[in-house]
Amino acid sequence: MIVYNSELEFELFNTDLVSDWLIDVIVNEGFSDGEINYVFCSDEYLLQKNIEFLNHDTLTDIISFDYTMGKLISGDIFISVERVKENSKDFNVSFNNELCRVMVHGILHYCGYKDKSEEEKSVMRERENFYLAKLDSQI
């Protein structure tokens, strides 16, 4: 089950479509969906989480806490709406496109994808693009 929460004035577009898409990603990767909680928040809120839990005093667009057990995907994914807006401008893409990229990025981490090395980043980006294309075909 995917749940969406917000720490600020924000509402996700077409939650049913996005949820179905994310569940399709999970299934396509060979997993099943457990409890996945998205929390949309401000830069300040996410910065505090970054400092408190990761000892990083930097802004970020996403922090995920992975509770996956075996093939059952579960976790909390915190997304800074402000960072996503800024990144969408920097990358010259729509806000919704960048938001979905970040959302699927968190899921892909839960499926075992990493992004520390350049090679890992390349694989992660390819999977993000693959799944974003699937979503685009549904919109």
Listed as ranges, residues in the chain with pLDDT below 70 are: 139
What length does the chain have?
A: 139
Q: How far is CA 41 from the centre of its chain?
A: 13
Three-state DSSP state, 54: helix
Domain range annotation of the chain:
2-138
Q: At what angle do helices 118-138 and 15-28 cross, to 10 degrees?
A: 130
pLDDT of residue 22: 98
The answer to whether the CB of 96 falls within 8 A of the CB of 11 is no
pLDDT of residue 138: 75
Of 3.50.50.60, 3.40.390.30, 3.40.50.300, 3.90.550.10, the CATH number of 2-138 is: 3.40.390.30
Distance CA(64)–CA(78), nearest Å, equals 6
The answer to whether the CB of 33 falls within 8 A of the CB of 25 is no
Q: How far is CA 42 from the centre of its chain?
A: 15
pLDDT of residue 139: 67
The answer to whether the CB of 36 falls within 8 A of the CB of 1 is yes
Q: How far is CA 7 from the centre of its chain?
A: 16
The answer to whether the CB of 112 falls within 8 A of the CB of 70 is no
pLDDT of residue 133: 95
Instruction: Consult the annotation and say whether 105 binds a ligand.
Output: yes
92 token code pair: 């010259």
Instruction: Consult the annotation and say whether 56 binds a ligand.
Output: no
* Pairing between β-strand 62-66 and β-strand 72-80 as defined by DSSP bridges: antiparallel
